Amino acid sequence: MPLKIKKAVIPAAGLGTRFLPATKVVPKELLPIVDKPAVQYIVEEALAAGIEEIIFVISPDKRQIVDHFRPAPDLEEILKKKGAADYLESITAFSNRATFRVVIQEKPLGLGHAVHCAKEAVGSEWFLVFLPDDLIDHETPCAVQMLKSWETHKGAMIAVMEVPWDEVHLYGVVKAQPMGTRLGKVESLVEKPRREGAPSNLAIIGRYLLPPETFSLLEKVTPGAIGEIQLTDALTALVTKPGLFAFQFEGDRFDVGNKFGFLEANINFALKHEHLSQRTTDLIKLMAESR
């Protein structure tokens, strides 16, 4: 029987300081991209990839994130009485498609620590990690693209994309030996290198397909200068055994963790929205002409 990826981890414990004061009460993951919270796009991608259990790693004050995906009987009853079938479907679409689980990260000690918090929930299975700041828009979701490649290679895998050379210092960067059009065998990883020291401009983007031994590797990682445990350090140990692949996905990526990326994502999805596309196009033209 072929191995199936059934669990996904979504680390979402960050403070969202770049969006204050909007995120003083509302988690940044729930800020809307047109008419859906940003994190809903991530969950929809996970479900498209066949994920059956979604594990949110959150801080104690961000339980609203998982509440968004739980049933709301009173609201559902009101919508039924009003005959608002479309709205009802929009809030019940997740009810029977996956199990949602919460793991608390008491202190923000880095992405590696956040992933390790999910150790018990994941168990001894392969799993996907989705970073909610990275929205990737393509008719074939990024996670689905990765899983198709993984079915052949069965190795740990990270999503990558080419970024401008003057931005490599913002990312983890990989050096990879090409194996095909979109796949490479990772030879090394560097976290946020200077341009002159970067081995390439292939940046790690927020999708990871990882084996269960990732957790034991994270336990050996030494916290950095600011006391954080980095996932990249554990990935470095995977390079030699059992191996790590870099997958260059197709699609448009939006970093909704910063204000301009958030704006870009809203425009992108508005232009694809059935009822907003033409009006958005007209508005952009009008604003451009008036300046």
Q: What is the pLDDT of residues 213-270, one digit of tens each?
A: 999 999 998 887 577 888 988 999 898 877 899 999 999 999 999 999 999 999 999 9
Q: Which pTM does this prediction carry? A: 0.93
Give the model's confidence band at 1: pLDDT under 50 very low, under 70 low, under 90 confident, else very high.
very low
Are 241 and 162 contacting, i.e. CB atoms less than 8 angstroms apart?
no
**If one looks up domain 7-289 in CATH, what number appears?**
3.90.550.10
Quote the CA–CA distance of 89 and 243 in Å, as a whole number: 42
Residue 152 tokens read as 């052949």
pLDDT tens, position by position, 74-119: 999 999 988 988 888 888 888 778 899 999 998 888 999 999 999 9
Mean of the pLDDT values across residues 202-222? 94
Task: Report the pLDDT value the prediction gives residue 225, as an integer from 0 to 100.
Answer: 58
In 131-230, where does DSSP find H-type helix?
Answer: 142-153, 214-218
* pLDDT of 10 higher than 60: yes
Are 8 and 127 contacting, i.e. CB atoms less than 8 angstroms apart?
yes
Residue 253 tokens read as 């990526």
Quote the CA–CA distance of 107 and 127 in Å, as a whole number: 23
Are 55 and 8 contacting, i.e. CB atoms less than 8 angstroms apart?
yes
